[in-house]
Chain A
Amino acid sequence: MDTFVFALLNGVIHGLLLFMVSAGLTLVFGMMGVLNFAHASFYMLGAYFAYTLQGIVGFGAAVVLAALLAGAVGVAVERWFLRRVHHHGHAHELLLTFGLSFIIAETIKLLFGNHPVDYRVPASLDFAAFALGSQQYPAYRLLMGGVAIAMFAAIWALLTRTRVGIVVRAAIYRPRMAEALGHNVQLVFMGVFGVGAALAGLAGAVAGAFYTTNPNMALEVGVMVFVIVVVGGLGSLGGAMLASLLIGVITSLAVGIDRSIADLLATFGARDWAEGIGGLLTLKVSSLAATIPFALMLLVLLVRPRGLMGEEA
């Protein structure tokens, strides 16, 4: 039972973290139609910014500043790069962000080296929140989950409950109309892109300390983030939340299942046959844990291409 509770909790928190990164990606896509390949790079930038600033201003302030800096980089990218190629169409924007992700990764390698840097959870936050049985649960994980939930609530409220949200939503659905009514649509787009980048930066600053901060972290999380956005539905914030939690929990639970299809077939008395065939039939579920999200994406694309909560095309 303890194990199950922990697996569930682990899955939810990891899912929330994935949400923090994917929120910005899905937001930008929903608003601007740009699939931002450099999005995970902002996650990495956030971690490195926080690592650099940590020694100067302390951990808490470093995290906030890192998010702001990542947001500023995002704003700059939108203002001086994306806007210029916007009228050439989506393919150009996609290639631009793709190239940008390489430039950021290589710059990080040049400045900080190829190995993970020494960015860790500060001692004051490094304690156990509670213990169940013989296992402790780190407080920092709960903090990560809390930050993600607060972030979700804040964006949700901003978009649906405030005047800014109305303008932003108007700028997405009817950009020309919004412009005709006197709103600066360019500014809105820039702001949205910046906020998206800042969210990823925040996630990086928080998670980089708990996991590792290295030049590959964008690659590591990037693929999973795309899976989440596709599964949840491109552009849907709620969908991203649902898909993140789903993937987090499924992966976490799968690790604990040391069963294979052969075990399932054993109930029909076909175990010997299955073991004779081997291959996929005798593979333990636990050894496939990291592959399951991709299988889920395949399934979603086959039966519901618009994603779990995506809008009808």
Chain B
Amino acid sequence: MRDSLLTAARRALPVMATLTTLSGLAQAAPVKIGLLETLSGPQASTGQSFRSGVRYAIDKLNAAGGWNGQSVQLLEYDNQGGPAGASDKLKAAIADGVQIVVQGASSAIGGQITEDVRKHNLRNPGKEIVYVNVGAEAMELTGEKCNFHHFRFTGNAQVRTKALVAGMKQAGTLGTKVYAINQNYSWGQDVERAVVDNAAAGGYQVVEKTLHDTNKIQDFAPYVSKIVASGAETVITGNWSNDLLLLMKASKAAGLKVRFGTVFLDQPGNVANAGDTAIGHFIAHAFNPEAGGAESTRFVDDFKARTGHVPVFVEPQAVFGLEMVAEALKRTKPQGDALDVNAFAKVLEGTRIRTPMGEVSMRAADHQVLMPMVVSMVTKDAKYKADDTDMGFKPVKLFTAEEAAAPVQASCKMQRPD
């Protein structure tokens, strides 16, 4: 009863959003980019972060002239935080003429979209669509599920963990006993595997591994007891949202002295809410303004001028991803008056741009982006403060795209169109 009402209520929202964007349809078909993001429900804040990054990049693309003399249109769809909603909204997007689908929050949703896109393209030759993945980091998306029309513009579990381990080892805080605690779905399981895989390189032993339900647990005290019992010095976790915050708060309350190696500590609200608990913890992220030079400052200032805040969390990676899309669009000639998606995808495969963090390029073999990774630590002397606190992320080490890269997975057998 409650659920069906809930979905009914949520369903009404995206329809309205679509209607408002449809009003700009009058002129001859411009390229349509569909953002299929979690814009309502408990994880809406993550989806909205992706959205602000994507909007910024599209605005910039249009300010530079758009494509084929027309502005590129951004249509937004609310996937309601689940694969089923994403599948529904993908159909709606295709019906609206969207050729490029963008999504980032949750690998579970990403897994659904990439499969749906693959099937659609098989069944509708000549009307292909391409999936621009700006945040789903599970390995399978560039592994078993890899397909020609999926492009990942963010790291993945192996890339993040490798950078995190190397950065923390270099900072001398990794220790020899590591505990892996993760959310029990594709992404969390991949991080757990990556922690085990990196044991030799990091010179540590994985004392214990835990998988738990995703964003359903309120009380992390029992898990912290387990960490204490294991004698771990470092906890590596791919947790995001409440699962990360509650885990850190529970550790603090139990007086647990461990370092956390994280991927999503820079989500807005985390540092403020964790308070001093956050100090000394690490993150592997795509961008830290302090790690770049003048170009970084320019990007941060421009982003701030347009959106009102410094780019954090997943915003930079979404911007860089869409900048690569823009670059590839620029180099794709229109066929008739329209965009040939296969031709665009072939250009995208070889796209290379410079971001404030360094060279970023797409790897054609599995469509995994090769991007620099920054490992940062929360301190009080960081240049850019997080969440209006006196703390911020101080870069420890900037890895170039080559250093951060993880090898192509053997399971990726990509079928290319002729």
Contacts and interface: CB of A to CB of B under 8 A. Distances in A.
A183 B248 CA distance: 52
A220 B242 contact: yes
Nearest to A222: B2
A7 interface: yes
Contact of B253 (A118, A138, A224): A138
Interface residues of B, number: 40
B184 A287 contact: yes
Contacts of B350: none
A208 B93 CA distance: 39
Given A211-B246, A290-B212, A118 B255 contact: no
Contacts of B253: 138, 140-141, 210
A212 B242 contact: yes
Given A6-B225, A252-B222, A289-B212, A219 B42 contact: yes
A136 B222 contact: no
Contacts of B301: none
Contact of A211 (B45, B184, B249, B275): B249
A205 B245 CA distance: 18
A138 B254 contact: yes
Contacts of B2: 37, 98
Interface string B198-222: 0000000000001111001111011
A7 B44 contact: no
Given A11-B222, A135-B228, A256-B222, A117 B273 contact: yes
16 contacts: A7-B222, A10-B221, A98-B5, A115-B267, A136-B255, A138-B255, A141-B253, A211-B249, A212-B246, A214-B242, A219-B42, A286-B210, A287-B184, A287-B210, A287-B212, A290-B217
Interface of A: 2-3, 6-7, 10-11, 13-14, 37, 98, 102, 114-120, 128, 131, 133-138, 140-141, 210-212, 214, 216, 219-221, 224, 248, 251-253, 255-256, 284, 286-291
Interface of B: 2, 5, 9, 42, 44-45, 48, 184, 210-213, 216-219, 221-223, 225-226, 228-229, 242, 245-246, 249, 253-256, 267-270, 272-273, 275, 387, 389
Given A14-B221, A116-B242, A135-B254, 17 more contacts: A7-B222, A7-B225, A10-B222, A11-B222, A114-B44, A114-B48, A117-B272, A118-B269, A138-B253, A211-B219, A220-B42, A220-B242, A221-B218, A253-B222, A256-B226, A286-B210, A289-B222
